Chains A and B, each alone.
Chain A
Amino acid sequence: MRKTNNDAELDDFGRFSEPALLILVSLAGGPRHGYSMTEDIEAIARVRLGPGTLYGALARLEARRLIEPLKSEDRRNPYKLTALGEHALRARLDSMMAVARTGQRRLASA
């Protein structure tokens, strides 16, 4: 399934698509490091990302400039959302909301 609008940014992530979306949502609340993201994602989505999945998605997001690392003195490097990442996240959430609204409306009229 291919998206034809701007939220197609995350479509090429394969099995990392959902973790990447959760990471973007987590970073929308401010910069976080890996462990903090895992905790936050578990709290908001009840999913605990393993380090392999987390860094697979983080590497993809960073390579596409959707997030960027911040300088840190300890080994827990924080990341923040870039303007492009915010744009992609907004587009994806808008698309999901449109689908959810349509689904709710159809269920209500069924």
Chain B
Amino acid sequence: MNWLLRLYPAQWQERYGEEFGAVLASQRTSPGLVLDVLAGAIDAHLYPQIPHADVRQEQVQGSEIGQQVLIQQSPIEQSQSALIEGKDTMTFQLLQRCAAGGPKLSREDRRAAQRTMIWSALAMAALYMGLTKIYRDAPAVQALFYSSFPFLVLVREQTAYLRRRTRATQALLLVAGFSGMYLFMLGAFLLARTL
């Protein structure tokens, strides 16, 4: 059964692998157990809980021996620190959850997403104008026009919600998402022409 552990991300295996293996070995093998481990592996890939290296590092004073220690504080951890210190974080948390940008997005995340979306919109508009001049209303160009709006939404979601993922993951999802939408639109246009 320990082979199931290989389905988890390497970083996760390094952190929890040994103890997870001990718990796994203590349980009776069943389809339910295999499904539980598979679902856990998918979750570990989609929502890695181990902090990434790009989390902002802050220097704080060591508590007892007065040494300078390095700790990593994400926005969630900062709000938690404020919570335990008795400061009011309710308004901050509500604002984060109800903001138009979606849950748990910092102001920097939202601005970065907006900047990316604006530049992408300009690039798409320039590309569309250039292609229209050359190919006029060819289905491939029309498909590009109609897929540009969902593409921009996708760009915004990628840059905002997947910001902490690797650039390779973001690029892969973006290219795959856009290709899928474009091919769908192109197929729809070609089909419409035959009707």
Proximity string of chain A (71-99) to chain B, C-beta cutoff 8 Å, 1 when within and 0 when not: 00001110000011001000000000000
Q: Which of B30-38, B137-145, B150-158 contacts A (4 or more CB under 8 A)?
A: B30-38
Question: Contacts A5-B90, A83-B84 known; A76 to B40 CB distance under 8 Å?
Answer: no
Complex interface: chain B residues within 8 A of A9 (CB) = 80, 83
145-169 of chain B: CB within 8 A of chain A: none
> How many chain B residues have a CB neighbour from A under 8 Å?
35
> Are B90's CB and A4's CB within 8 A?
yes
CA distance A9 to B32 in the complex (A): 29
Q: Which of A22-30, A57-65, A100-108 contacts B (4 or more CB under 8 A)?
A: A57-65
The answer, among B12, B21, B32, B37, for a CB contact under 8 Å with A59, is B12
Complex interface: chain A residues within 8 A of B18 (CB) = 75, 77
Complex interface: chain B residues within 8 A of A52 (CB) = 36-41, 43
Question: Contacts A53-B36, A64-B80, A65-B77 known; A38 to B23 CB distance under 8 Å?
Answer: yes
Number of cross-chain contacts by CB at 8 Å: 84
CA distance A38 to B36 in the complex (A): 14
> How many chain A residues have a CB neighbour from B under 8 Å?
31
> Are B84's CB and A87's CB within 8 A?
yes
CB-defined A-B contacts under 8 Å, sample of 8: A38-B27, A50-B27, A50-B40, A51-B37, A52-B41, A52-B43, A59-B44, A64-B80
- Residues of A with Cβ closer than 8 Å to B? 2, 4-6, 8-9, 12, 33-35, 38, 50-56, 58-60, 62-65, 75-77, 83-84, 87
